[in-house]
Amino acid sequence: MSNDLANDLATKVWQSKIPLRLSLHDRADATPLYLLHPRGAPLAAIAGRLRRHFRRHLENQTDDESPRPYAPSLADSQYFSPLGSEAWAEADEENDDDEPALWFQLHDAVVRWDIPLGAALDALGRPTPLPIDVTLHIGRPPPNIAALDASDDGFRAFVHSLKQAAHLERGTARAVLTLALARQRALYAACGAGDLSSYEDLEDVEPKRVPCRVFVDGCSTWTQLPFAACNEHGAPATVGEALGPCVRRALSIHDVRGATAVCHGVELPWDCALVDAWRALRCGDHFLYVAVRRLA
Amino acid sequence: MAAQPSPAPGAEAAPQPPPERVKLHFKAVGSAPLLRKPKLTVNGTEPFHAVQTFLAKQLQLPQTERLFLYCDSAFSPVPTEPVGHLYACFGRGGELVVNYATTGAYG
């Protein structure tokens, strides 16, 4: 794949937006919020806008309905917790801690707010009429689902994700650890706005391993494994070579061609070089999100 | 994409299945209390938040004290991520290093 083609694809991916209608669960009197959401941005990126739009209804919640922000088993995770780092204490103080936490639902599935919305839709794997109806819940989330806390805008999850990606690419997360907080914030803001031109990326390297998260239909979560950029012959590994064993195990099939891989809403060819797909189609957290399901 | 990527040492295109058992090496950061047994072997399918729960019990921290966990002195993983996957991605020398602190660390 040429650099020009990869850049064109990246530009199109970043410009891609999803029409959403966000409505409040069990509150018919709340006016839904319509917006275009960048495919590569997590729902958490619009937390502030959602809280402003539904403020009147959020304030009306009684104490009994107010949730703990996180499911008990996730309550101490720094990935989600607003107390995960003293570095963000100043930003946290700007928020109103009395506001209830939120979580999102699309049809009968919970939508994780910390991964790109486009990836969540690919994982859902159903044709959905536009605008996509997302229901906003105020209340206790299902087990093992983290709600979006009042003082959380998804930034921490983004940075921890970016560090993991950098670690896989370079063998160390130093490239992100040494970034100034303002620069980390700017990266997340660009990602949330779907603005590639203001996304001041990390220095480009030939990745040791390709940061890739795979959702296999029927599994409960995304799988993150160290996918090498090259095969055993030193040639760039194809998507099929890299993801094949994981997909075959999960779907109990003998050939990956019995399954389809989807990235950003389009089918990803199994014979495409994984590192090329990663360069062109990765999200702002440097992960390539691929949803795989068995062909009918 | 002009330059060909070089293979990572010992890497194959397809990752090995995550191990069934994973050795964790807990390392205290800052003023965090030390563990008598800093190494522990756990089931690879356990989610990372189970490690957090286990460690909090082991350290018997007062309720006012918080516990911060990181992998490889760098990041906090997705709490639902299986420990076996984390080992496959970030394990070194046959173990996964888990740093713990009572105040935030590593940004």
pLDDT reported for residue A18: 95
Residue B70: inside a domain, yes or no? Answer: yes
Residue A27: inside a domain, yes or no? Answer: yes
pLDDT reported for residue A75: 58
Cα torsion angle, A225, A227, A233, A237, sign: positive
Residue B61: inside a domain, yes or no? Answer: yes
Tell me, what DSSP letter sits at residue A189?
H
3-state secondary structure of A226: coil
Q: Do B5 and A83 touch (CB under 8 A)?
A: no
Residue A72 has pLDDT above 80, yes or no: no
Q: Do B106 and A177 touch (CB under 8 A)?
A: yes
Residue B46: inside a domain, yes or no? Answer: yes
- The CATH number for B94's domain is 3.10.20.90
Compute the distance between CA of residue B46 and CA of residue A265 in angstroms, rounded to an integer.
31
* pLDDT single digits (tens) A29-38: 899 999 999 9
pLDDT reported for residue A61: 62
Instruction: Give the predicted TM-score (pTM) of the model.
Output: 0.88
Q: Do A2 and B1 touch (CB under 8 A)?
A: yes
| 28-67 in chain A: CB under 8 A from chain B | none
Residue A96 structure tokens? 């109103």
Query: Quick one: closest CA in B to A276, which residue?
Result: B1
Q: Do A231 and B8 touch (CB under 8 A)?
A: no
pLDDT reported for residue A68: 53
What average pLDDT does this structure show over A282-290? 97
Output phi, psi for A263, to 5 deg. -135, 130
Residue B59: inside a domain, yes or no? Answer: yes
Angle between helices A155-170 and A181-193 (to 10 degrees): 100
Residue A236: inside a domain, yes or no? Answer: no
Contact criterion met (CB below 8 Å) for A137 and A25: yes
Q: What does the buried/exposed string (b/e) look like for B65-90 if buried means 16 or more CB atoms within 10 Å of the residue's CB?
A: ebbbbbbbebbbbbbbbbbbbbbbbb
Compute the distance between CA of residue A20 and CA of residue A130 in angstroms, rounded to an integer.
7
Candidate from A83, A146, A181 with C-beta closest to B66: A83
Residue B12: inside a domain, yes or no? Answer: no
**C-alpha distances in Å from residue A135, one per residue of A26, A104, A125, B77, B79:** 9, 6, 18, 27, 24
Higher pLDDT, A178 or A60: A178
Domain residue limits at B49: 24-101
CB pairs under 8 A between A and B: 160
Residues of chain A with Cβ-Cβ distance to B56 below 8 Å are 76
Candidate from A84, A224, A227 with C-beta closest to B81: A224
Compute the distance between CA of residue A195 and CA of residue A16 in angstroms, rounded to an integer.
10
Compute the distance between CA of residue A285 and CA of residue A163 in angstroms, rounded to an integer.
8
Higher pLDDT, B62 or A84: B62
* pLDDT single digits (tens) A129-141: 899 999 999 877 7
pLDDT reported for residue B14: 59
Candidate from A224, A234, A249 with C-beta closest to B85: A224
Q: Do B103 and A206 touch (CB under 8 A)?
A: no
pLDDT reported for residue A2: 75
Sheet strand arrangement including B39-43: B39-43, B21-28, B96-101, B68-71
Residue B5: inside a domain, yes or no? Answer: no
Q: Do B70 and A168 touch (CB under 8 A)?
A: no
Residue A113: burial class (beta carbons within 10 Å; 0-12, 13-18, 19+): buried
Contact criterion met (CB below 8 Å) for B69 and B52: yes
pLDDT reported for residue A90: 39
Q: Do A245 and B14 touch (CB under 8 A)?
A: yes
Find, among A167, A176, A112, the residue nearest to A145 by Cα. Answer: A112
Q: Do A228 and B12 touch (CB under 8 A)?
A: yes
Compute the distance between CA of residue A45 and CA of residue B98 in angstroms, rounded to an integer.
29
Residue B50's CB is within 10 A of a number of other CB atoms, namely: 17
Compute the distance between CA of residue B56 and CA of residue A76 in angstroms, rounded to an integer.
10
pLDDT reported for residue A194: 95
Q: How many domains does chain A have?
A: 1
Candidate from A177, A181, A243 with C-beta closest to B74: A177
Candidate from A79, A86, A223 with C-beta closest to B104: A86
Contact criterion met (CB below 8 Å) for A89 and A156: no
Residue A64: inside a domain, yes or no? Answer: yes
The model's confidence at residue A89, banded by pLDDT at 50, 70 and 90, is very low
Residue A121: inside a domain, yes or no? Answer: yes
Residue A221 has pLDDT above 90, yes or no: no
Find, among A206, A277, A265, the residue nearest to A238 by Cα. Answer: A277
Out of A79-88, A155-164, B58-67, pick the least confident: A79-88
Q: How many domains does chain B have?
A: 1
Q: Do A223 and B85 touch (CB under 8 A)?
A: yes
* pLDDT single digits (tens) A233-251: 889 999 999 999 999 989 9
- Asked if A9 reaches chain B (Cβ–Cβ under 8 Å), the answer is no
**C-alpha distances in Å from residue A6, one per residue of A40, A278, B2, B66:** 16, 9, 12, 44
3-state secondary structure of A83: coil
Q: Do B1 and A6 touch (CB under 8 A)?
A: yes
pLDDT reported for residue B26: 96
Query: Which residues of B sit within 8 Å Cβ distance of A?
Result: 1-8, 11-15, 17-18, 47-50, 52-53, 56, 66-70, 72, 74-81, 85, 88-90, 103-107
Residue A64 has pLDDT above 90, yes or no: no
3-state secondary structure of A272: coil
**What pairing do the DSSP bridges indicate for beta strands A132-138 and A17-24?**
parallel
Out of A207-211, B68-72, B89-93, B102-106, pick the least confident: B102-106
Residue A15 has pLDDT above 80, yes or no: yes
Start-to-end Cα distance in chain B: 32
- The CATH number for A122's domain is 3.10.20.620
pLDDT reported for residue A277: 96
Residue A67 has pLDDT above 60, yes or no: no
